Amino acid sequence: MFLMDAALRMRETMRNSAPAFALAQIGSRLLGFELDPYAAALTQTALEILLSDLAEAAGRSIPKMVRACDTLEEPPEEIFDLVIGNPPYGRVALTAEQRNRYGRSLYGHANLYGVFTDVALRWTKPKGLVAYLTPASFLAGQYYAALRGLLAREAPPVAIDFVHARRGVFEDVLQETMLAVYRKGESASRAQIHYLHVSNEREADIIRNGTVGLPAEPKAPWLAPRDPQHSALISRVEGMNSRLADWGYSVSTGPLVWNRFKSQLRDKAGGKNVHPLIWAESVAADGRFVFRAQKRNHTPYFKLERGDAWLLVEEPCVLVQRTTAKEQARRLIAAELPHEFVQEHGGVIVENHLNMVRATVEAKVPPSVIAALFNSRVVDEVFRCMNGSVAVSAFELEALPLPDIAQLKTLKRLVAQSADRALIDEECSRLYGEAV
């Protein structure tokens, strides 16, 4: 598809040139890679039809412009002004040699589109452009930390367009999609944001809206407003430098992967070393902690065996659901795990679909304040501008911009008084610079 449009444009700029010259230019400047030999042949044929009159006038055959090959294995040359791609995506098991070759952009699991982005940089001339249609998950995910670092150093984004497509226009609606343009050799500055509302395969409304800067540490998530109305909020957030670590907390996932411990699940309390098992449904949508096990295979108790001490959580913490979709009213659903409950049972077991926000040193802010802040509308919106997938990761929670501790006096007071949620929400908005 992209090759066709590119060929048409090249042809148009050479409309006054001799057909043989125009054809030779297009043939030597345009190149596509495709793994599937049928798709490659189809594209070459489409190009041949498109350029057939030029070939006839020139008395030449049409050059080969589509290579049936594995893009990851083609030896790159820095020769293109523009590399365009709609790369494949999904986890990929790279060979040891590939992991070594693409090591500069890898962190843990490799995703095809991330590796393809690295490849694009290798084919682009200095000052050339890369224009890629990809999932937006690399803006925040920890697995893309090295790729963000590479892009910030070598080819920072100059424009990011978020694609809002109606159901049916793109195959995978769960994946947030973006079009990004990177310029190689540019020093990182601000990227222009657009929103593309795609109603069918031929039409899109484009809204231009503000710019975003990369964080000082580019491996950290890149926040970008997903909606024009979040633009002002995100530019204020760019100046907020506190993180959970500054409040004395770190985040980890609940340690229990239940199906590896099936024989230790219990329906009832009682007996030695039996503790409450906390599942994601214990964190209610309204931010309360409700001890319950309602879903299939979920049991409310767990028996610790010898060597399982690492599963026991004995200190107060904030629990945050790990899987939430953007269609849900809140992406961040948090509750304080009440200290009395933990004490009463001598500790609890937290299942893996929850994140645990735990004090690492003496906590500088009570857990209840963290839970209230995470459950507020404004922090939910900030999180949505960070994360485009369904996972709420420990890495992203630790990267959430927070107010300075010195500003929390009113919020602490309201939470301690169990004030109305609307009042707490209002105070959280104020802390993020919103006029209330």
Ligand X SMILES: C[S@@+](CC[C@H](N)C(=O)[O-])C[C@H]1O[C@@H](n2cnc3c(N)ncnc32)[C@H](O)[C@@H]1O
Which of helix, strand or coil describes residue 179?
strand
Which residue has 């800067």 as its token pair? Answer: 213
Query: Closer CB to ligand X, residue 202 or residue 272?
Result: 202
Task: Give the angle 161-164-167 at the CA atoms, nearest 5°.
Answer: 150
Structure tokens at 219: 């491996």
Give me the least distance between CB of 73 and ligand X, in Å please: 8
Give, in order, the Cα–Cα distances in Å from 422 to each of 338, 368, 378.
Answer: 22, 16, 12
Give me the least distance between CB of 83 and ligand X, in Å please: 12
Give me the least distance between CB of 357 and ligand X, in Å please: 37
Amino acid symbol at 288: R
Give me the least distance between CB of 200 and ligand X, in Å please: 16
x/- contact string, 10-49, with ligand X (CB under 6 A)?
Answer: -----------------------xxxx--x----------
Give me the least distance between CB of 37 and ligand X, in Å please: 10
Give me the least distance between CB of 35 and ligand X, in Å please: 3
Q: What is the dihedral of CA 326, 225, 375, 276, to 10 degrees?
A: 50
* One of 4, 10, 29, 86 touching ligand X (CB under 6 A): 86
Query: Closer CB to ligand X, residue 88 or residue 185?
Result: 88
Query: Closer CB to ligand X, residue 36 or residue 217?
Result: 36
Residues 209-248 that bind ligand X (CB under 6 A): none
Which of helix, strand or coil describes residue 160?
strand
Q: Which stretch binds ligand X (CB under 6 A): 65-73, 158-166, 212-220, 304-312?
A: 65-73
Query: Closer CB to ligand X, residue 94 or residue 245?
Result: 94
Q: Which stretch binds ligand X (CB under 6 A): 69-77, 204-212, 260-268, 281-289?
A: 69-77
Structure tokens at 79: 């020769």
Query: Closer CB to ligand X, residue 101 or residue 345?
Result: 101
* One of 37, 88, 108, 346 touching ligand X (CB under 6 A): 88
Give, in order, the Cα–Cα distances in Å from 315 to each of 76, 219, 359, 397.
Answer: 53, 31, 8, 19
Give, in order, the Cα–Cα distances in Å from 125 to each of 56, 117, 156, 194, 328.
Answer: 33, 14, 14, 26, 43
Residue 157: name the closest of 130, 117, 121 by CA: 130
Residue 118 as a binder of ligand X (CB under 6 A): the answer is: no
User: What's the CA gap between 194 and 345, in Å, rounded?
Assistant: 52
User: What's the CA gap between 330 and 90, in Å, rounded?
Assistant: 26
Give me the least distance between CB of 274 and ligand X, in Å please: 50
x/- contact string, 391-410, with ligand X (CB under 6 A)?
Answer: --------------------
Query: Closer CB to ligand X, residue 74 or residue 227?
Result: 74
Residue 71 as a binder of ligand X (CB under 6 A): the answer is: yes
Buried b / exposed e along 123-146 (16+ C-beta atoms within 10 A)? bbeeebbbbbbbbbbbbbbbbbbb
Residue 70 as a binder of ligand X (CB under 6 A): the answer is: yes
Q: Is 381 exposed, middle or buried (0-12, 13-18, 19+ CB in 10 A)?
A: buried
Query: Closer CB to ligand X, residue 47 or residue 72?
Result: 72
Give me the least distance between CB of 1 and ligand X, in Å please: 4
Query: Closer CB to ligand X, residue 32 or residue 215?
Result: 32
Query: Closer CB to ligand X, residue 128 or residue 135?
Result: 135
* One of 26, 62, 72, 139 touching ligand X (CB under 6 A): 72
CB 359 within 8 A of CB 313: no
Long-range own/partner contacts, residues 206-211 (CB < 8 A, 24 or more apart): 206/161, 210/235
Instruction: Using CB under 6 A, list all residues that contact ligand X.
Output: 1-2, 33-36, 39, 70-72, 86, 88
